[in-house]
Structure 1
Amino acid sequence: MSDTHGKFIWCELMTPDLDATAKFYGSVVGWTTKPMKVDDQPEYIIFEANGVGVAGMMHFPAELEGQGIPPNWTGYVDVDDVDQSARDFAANGGTIRRPPADIPTIGRFAVVADPDGAVLCIMTPLPMENAPPELPSDTPGHIGWHELYANDGAKAFAFYAKLFGWTKDQDFDMGPMGVYHIFAEHGKQTGGMMTRPPEVDMCFWTYYFTVPALDAAIERINAGGGKVVNGPMEVPGAWICQAVDPQGAFFCLSAGER
């Protein structure tokens, strides 16, 4: 495995209203937007933090309408060989939701799901000229944490450790909520996995966007038509909340102070 295999490299939102959504996240997270056009591909918007692209946004695909899938955020993980990694997902109990395909000038990607049905995109990006420097995950506007709700947190960790090379950073005992499995990518603490509580009816990945202070960001969520569904809550080293945007996409915020 290369030193980038298993690294989260992007986060992407599918939403029915690009303009309203851009305004919402611009207010809440501080992102600016820049359109990107690749040949005959659909309209795509880049979210930038301090002039650096950190996430993207596209129209909710028509082929997914009516399937009970809400607007949603999906993470991209760098892999050495997309085609092989997709086969590995399928061979280990996962599924290939969209077969590997090329995105002109960007790279080759596939949409996969783990054995519990939690969806990710995997990608082998093309080499990038003048790549921006990687900033710490607690930099405002950046994706600071990646979290999985699984049917069995320990089994999920074993699956991803095998496919992505992730290692266990530490297990955190949450009492009645079970064990939180904190994982690392090439030695860097990157996210956590847990067994989903009964009130969470599906398995999924979720992403924490870093903001300077949480209470002010929650005010912006409410003012912009979003809704906080959990929090504010203090966790080791941070304050967090979970929310939905005005179009119904679930997201999380993390801040170093309340």
Structure 2
Amino acid sequence: MWEHGQFWWNELMTGDAEKAKAFYGSTLGWTFSEMPVDGGGTYWVANLSDKPAGGIFEMRGPDFDGLPEHWFSYIAVDNIDERLELAKAHGATVTRPPFDVPGIGRIALLKDAGGAAQGWMTPA
């Protein structure tokens, strides 16, 4: 179960998913399962003891040019649409409006008032 305001998910944004999978598989014992991505590609769910531990997203295309590899965090919120309005009223910038991922939840990407990028999501 999730609680409003807690960090809910972390994913590695990488240019080389195979290299990342080899590293984390060897060093942390993670195993990986595939999840298709709309528009093509694969999202990798990292598992530890058959429980999801995080994800690996392979950055492809011009939107990611020059962006270094990094870990990206998501925070669970009770109502993504209402919380985004509140965040904007307090200085946030929405960089990707809410979208639904079946079986996962409703997600949006934003920068807080100081410019820190993050995802907010209402988990399914």
Same fold (TM over 0.5): yes
How far, CA to CA, are the matches of 1:38 and 1:111 in structure 2?
A: 17
Q: Among 85, 88, 93, which residue is 2:86 paired with?
A: 88
Give the 3 Å change call, closer, same or farther, for CA 61–115 of structure 1 in structure 2: farther
Shift, 1:61, TM fit: 3.7
Residue type at the aligned position of 2:27: V
How far, CA to CA, are the matches of 1:97 and 1:51 in structure 2?
A: 33
TM-score of the aligned structures, taking structure 2 as reference length: 0.89
Match of 2:25 in 1: 26
Residue type at the aligned position of 2:114: D
How far, CA to CA, are the matches of 2:98 and 2:29 in structure 1?
A: 33
Give the 3 Å change call, closer, same or farther, for CA 39–60 of structure 1 in structure 2: closer
Match of 2:96 in 1: 98
Shift, 1:40, TM fit: 5.3
**Conserved 8 A contact 1:10-1:55:** yes
Larger radius of gyration: 1
How far, CA to CA, are the matches of 1:104 and 1:22 in structure 2?
A: 24
For the residue of structure 1 that corresponds to 2:84, the secondary structure is helix
How far, CA to CA, are the matches of 1:91 and 1:42 in structure 2?
A: 35
Match of 2:77 in 1: 79
For the residue of structure 2 that corresponds to 1:100, the secondary structure is strand
Residue type at the aligned position of 1:50: S
Are 1:70 and 2:68 an aligned pair? yes
Are 1:54 and 2:53 an aligned pair? yes
CA deviations 1:90-131 (Å, max 9, x no partner) are: 1101211111111122211000111111111111111xxxxx
Gaps of 5+ in 2: none
Residue type at the aligned position of 1:93: G
Shift, 1:47, TM fit: 0.6
How far, CA to CA, are the matches of 2:100 and 2:28 in structure 1?
A: 31
Higher relative contact order (CA 8 A, sep 6+): 2
Q: Among 98, 115, 118, which residue is 2:116 paired with?
A: 118
Percent identity, aligned pairs only, is 37
For the residue of structure 2 that corresponds to 1:86, the secondary structure is helix
Shift, 1:29, TM fit: 2.0
How far, CA to CA, are the matches of 1:86 and 1:61 in structure 2?
A: 27
Number of paired residues? 123
Alignment of 1:56-205 (within 5 A): 56-66=55-65, 68-126=66-124
Residue type at the aligned position of 2:67: I
TM-score of the aligned structures, taking structure 1 as reference length: 0.45
Shift, 1:30, TM fit: 2.0
For the residue of structure 2 that corresponds to 1:23, the secondary structure is helix
Residue type at the aligned position of 1:12: E
For the residue of structure 2 that corresponds to 1:85, the secondary structure is helix
Please, what is the CA RMSD of the aligned residues? 1.8
Give the 3 Å change call, closer, same or farther, for CA 24–56 of structure 1 in structure 2: same
How far, CA to CA, are the matches of 1:42 and 1:117 in structure 2?
A: 29
For the residue of structure 2 that corresponds to 1:112, the secondary structure is strand
Give the 3 Å change call, closer, same or farther, for CA 63–86 of structure 1 in structure 2: farther
For the residue of structure 2 that corresponds to 1:75, the secondary structure is strand
